[in-house]
């Protein structure tokens, strides 16, 4: 079978489309024929070495497809930690390396079933970015009616989903985008105010929009270029969630700044910590699948690349040439 392998760290050119042995399931594992894999910034961080992995490795953290084999210990009592998965089931997963491939072996207790009401492409598009948006808005900084929040990269994969979930929870949403086209997409997702950060200082704009009070939460996936101004956008005791660093890592800073700006909260969260139990994983996935089926949550999945063109997908994502979700199709 074919897979995208990384033998050395570097640019998109290090992604190799090559033959690898078909996986066989170990204890508690299943083998899935992948129908769509998600492309995410974490893949770029791993490819470049910003996030360290032992070489060589198969890239990819998120996919959906059909179960073609089950290992020992899988297929027992229904509901027993997800191990009742069987051949022919459609499943999806995230936070497991190896999704840039035609098939992958994954732990049975870390997959969720894909309901008949949504497609495998939708499921693949919703897992990492959708559950990230879910834990940010529903658990980490649980937004409520009357709250205001700032979402950077409002037309990105997480940004569009996070905007919609924040609106479902009754929040007022302010986003930042780089182009008029992306501003239109952000507004269509429900953003109340869209700030073109290339021509307008977003800190000044947020303070003007909130009457100087600031927002209750900032969701920042950009990092280096937005960090300090994002802190300045928070109301006293507001929450800053730094969940990515597309512009580079944040420089060290004095935590006393948090006190000076109103006893602020700062966290650098990751999805695995917010899906650490089977119950939490299922709850987040089921919420997302339910919203998608009810058309309360809309996915953008028009950016698809063949698996062999993973390098082009990385170039498009890193160059901010995409909106919504980027998928690889084996």
Give, to the nearest 10 degrees, the angle between helix 310-318 and helix 41-48.
Answer: 110
- Beta-carbon contacts of 241 under 8 Å, excluding residues fewer than 6 positions away, are 136, 140, 141, 217, 218, 219, 220, 267, 269
pLDDT tens readout for residues 264-285: 999 999 999 999 999 999 999 9
Report the predicted TM-score, pTM, of the whole model to 2 decimal places: 0.91
Q: Provide the β-strand partners of residue 3.
A: 18, 101
Give the least confident one: 48-62, 95-109, 168-182, 311-325: 311-325
Please give the C-alpha separations between residue 15 and each of 3, 43, 125, 224, in angstroms, as whole numbers. Answer: 10, 11, 21, 26
DSSP code string of 225-244 = TTHHHHHHTEEEEEEEEE--
Round to whole Å and give the CA distance between 154 and 208. 19
Burial of residue 255, with CB atoms counted within 10 A of its CB: 0-12 exposed, 13-18 middle, 19 or more buried: exposed
pLDDT tens readout for residues 75-112: 753 433 446 899 999 999 999 999 999 999 999 999 99
Query: What are the structural domains of the chain?
Result: 2-127+278-329 (3.90.180.10), 145-268 (3.40.50.720)
Is residue 58's pLDDT more than 50?
A: yes
pLDDT tens readout for residues 169-228: 999 999 999 999 999 999 999 999 999 998 999 999 999 999 999 999 999 999 888 999
């Amino acid at each position: 079978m074919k897979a995208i392998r990384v033998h050395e760290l570097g640019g998109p050119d290090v992604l190799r489309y090559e033959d690898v042995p078909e996986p066989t399931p170990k204890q508690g594992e299943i083998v899935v024929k992948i129908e769509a894999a998600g492309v995410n910034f974490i893949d770029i961080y791993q490819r470049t070495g910003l996030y360290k992995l032992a070489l060589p490795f198969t890239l990819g953290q998120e996919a959906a497809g059909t179960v073609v084999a089950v290992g020992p210990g899988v297929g027992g009592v229904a509901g027993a930690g997800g191990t009742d998965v069987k051949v022919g089931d459609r499943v999806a997963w995230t936070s497991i390396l190896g999704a840039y491939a035609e098939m992958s072996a994954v732990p049975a207790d870390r997959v969720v079933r894909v309901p008949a009401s949504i497609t495998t492409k939708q499921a693949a598009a919703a897992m990492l970015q959708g559950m990230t948006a879910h834990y940010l808005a529903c658990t980490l900084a649980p937004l409520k009616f009357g709250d205001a929040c700032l979402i950077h990269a409002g037309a990105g994969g997480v940004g569009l989903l996070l905007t919609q979930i924040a609106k479902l929870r009754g929040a007022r949403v302010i986003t930042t985008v780089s182009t008029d086209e992306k501003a239109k997409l952000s507004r269509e997702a429900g953003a109340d105010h869209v700030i073109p950060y290339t021509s307008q200082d977003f800190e000044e704009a947020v303070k003007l929009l909130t009457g100087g009070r600031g927002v209750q939460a900032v969701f920042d996936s950009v990092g280096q270029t937005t960090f300090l101004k994002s802190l300045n956008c928070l109301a006293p005791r507001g929450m800053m969630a730094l969940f990515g660093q597309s512009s580079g890592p944040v420089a060290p800073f004095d935590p006393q700044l948090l006190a000076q700006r109103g006893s602020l909260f700062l966290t650098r969260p990751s999805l695995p910590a917010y899906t650490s139990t089977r119950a939490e994983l299922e709850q987040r996935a089921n919420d997302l699948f339910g919203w998608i089926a009810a058309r309360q949550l809309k996915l953008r999945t028009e950016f698809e690349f063949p698996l062999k063109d993973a390098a082009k997908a990385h170039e498009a994502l890193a160059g901010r040439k995409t909106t919504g979700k980027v998928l690889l199709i084996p």
